[in-house]
Amino acid sequence: MTGNVIVTHQLRMRFGRHVVLDGLDLQVPRGSIYALIGSSGAGKSTTLQILMNLLRGYQGSASVLGVECSHLSASGYARIGYVAEGQEMPDTMTAGEYLAHWRPFYPGWDVARERELLDLFRLPLDRKLKHLSRGMRMKIALASSLAYRPELILLDEPFSGLDPLVRDEFTEALLAHAEETTILISSHDLAEIESFASHVGFLDEGKLQFSEEMASLSRRFREIEVTLEAAFLPPKVPGSWVRTEAGASVVRFVETQWDGERTARAIREIFPQACEVTVRPMPLRSIFVTLAKAARKAA
């Protein structure tokens, strides 16, 4: 089956006078690992909470697995896994009891997979949840959300506050099951996401600035350095250039629509006396910082 497992159209949400989502149009393709990135307060968690029918009172439409989010019920939840930062857990249960508690609710609960996950995470099943570290609790939450082979997994800031080892284990578990599911992950941890996300969406002030495949994003962003005898800030640059800065002998900018030939031609036109042009691909983190700063400047 193809198509989008998550579709929102003109999704708007406000808390009092504060607009959190402002006409969000989001499509998450089936089978993708979609990273929703954006600065704090951009509306990432709110989006996920609406998708899980935790928040109501939104305008527009939002559907998950073909079901309008406000109508999401037990049968829908049986097909979705949700792990969020700050999610409360029953402290008096042990890790083993927690997993055993959920088993009967999912017809597709796979005990063998549960065992695999437990082996991978090395979870202490006999300890009460309240005595476990944050990392352990997140791993239990993930294990209990992967064991029933959900069609869709929503992860809200799952890496926040986790040590590198736990992050690796977390990512490993996710990737081991990525083929059969769709993952929507909101995170600040861009380096982690970059290693496995297939799609990325940038959310800023409740609006989706772009949404595309990771490979395409990496292709079109370049950090360019033009060396001149005497650097200057040109009065007019192409709209696809952002963060243009001039040093003593260097002009730096980010090309957001990289196309080797076209970009080279534009550079030659604007800086005919350029001595040297250096082009570097950008990691996701740099792209995010560039876009966030550009958006802030525009605002």
Partner 1 sequence: MTLVWHLLRKDLRHSWIYLAAALCLLLLSATTFFSSLFSLWNARIGGYGSQGIFELLQIAAWSLLCGVLILAEPLPGIQQYWLTRPIRWQQLLSAKVLVIALFAALPIAIAHVAILMFRGFPLTGHLPGIVWNAVLLAAASFLPVALAASISRNLQQLILWLLGLGGLFFVLRQWSPEAAPSSEWIVMDVSLFILILGAGAIITWQYATRHTQAGRVAAFLLIVLAGTVQRWPASVRFGLQRAASPVPVDANVARWRVDLGNTVLQKSTPETAWTGARILYIPIELEGLPEGWTAEWDAWNGIEVSADGDTDGGAAVRKPPTISRRDSQSFVALPISKDFINRHANGRANITLGTELVLYGPAQTMTMDVNGTANLPGLGRCQSHTATELIIGCALAIHSAWNIRGQWAIGEPQEKSPVVLTVPETRSPLALLPSLSPLALPYGGFGATSDYTKGQIYLRLRKPKAYVHRRIEITGLPLY
Residues binding partner 1: number (CB under 8 A): 25
Nearest distance in Å: CB 168, partner 1: 25
Question: What tokens were used for 6?
Answer: 């998550």
Do residues 129 and 94 touch, judged by C-beta distance below 8 A?
yes
- HSE of 154, CA atoms in CB hemisphere, 13 A: 23
- The Cα-based distances of 253 to 18, 220, 224, 262, 268 in angstroms read 33, 13, 6, 15, 14
Residue whose C-alpha is closest to residue 180's, from 122, 110, 118, 111: 110
**Alpha carbon distance 82, 80 (integer Å):** 7
121 contributes a contact to partner 1 by CB under 8 A:
no
Q: Where are the beta strands (DSSP E) in the chain?
A: 4-15, 18-29, 33-37, 59-64, 67-68, 80-84, 152-156, 182-186, 199-204, 207-213, 222-227, 241-246, 250-255, 276-281
87 contributes a contact to partner 1 by CB under 8 A:
yes
80 contributes a contact to partner 1 by CB under 8 A:
yes
Q: Which of 7, 19, 67, 89 binds partner 1 (CB under 8 A)?
A: 89
Q: Which is nearer to partner 1, 86 or 247 (CB)?
A: 86
Nearest distance in Å: CB 102, partner 1: 7
Residue 270 φ then ψ, to 5°: -85, -35
CA 80 remoteness from chain centre: 17
Nearest distance in Å: CB 99, partner 1: 12
Interface mask toward partner 1 for 48-77; x: CB under 8 A: -x--x-xx-----------------xxx-x
106 contributes a contact to partner 1 by CB under 8 A:
yes
- Sequence-ordered list of residues with C-beta below 8 angstroms from that of 129, at least 6 positions apart, any chain: 89, 90, 91, 92, 93, 94, 95, 98, 137, 140
Q: Which of 101, 115, 130, 262 binds partner 1 (CB under 8 A)?
A: 101
Give me the helix-helix angle, 134-146 and 164-176, nearest 10°: 0
104 contributes a contact to partner 1 by CB under 8 A:
yes
Q: Which of 66, 105, 176, 280 binds partner 1 (CB under 8 A)?
A: 105
Q: Which of 21, 33, 84, 295 binds partner 1 (CB under 8 A)?
A: 84
Q: Which of 41, 66, 90, 247 binds partner 1 (CB under 8 A)?
A: 90
Q: Which is nearer to partner 1, 101 or 262 (CB)?
A: 101
Q: Which is nearer to partner 1, 79 or 177 (CB)?
A: 79
Nearest distance in Å: CB 141, partner 1: 8
Nearest distance in Å: CB 15, partner 1: 12
Nearest distance in Å: CB 4, partner 1: 20
- Sequence-ordered list of residues with C-beta below 8 angstroms from that of 259, at least 6 positions apart, any chain: none
* Residue whose entry in the numeric block shows the structure tokens 């033009």: 226
Residue whose C-alpha is closest to residue 50's, from 84, 89, 90: 84
Nearest distance in Å: CB 298, partner 1: 32
97 contributes a contact to partner 1 by CB under 8 A:
yes
Nearest distance in Å: CB 157, partner 1: 12
Enumerate binding residues for partner 1 (CB under 8 A).
49, 52, 54-55, 73-75, 77-78, 80, 82, 84, 86-90, 92-93, 97, 101-102, 104-106
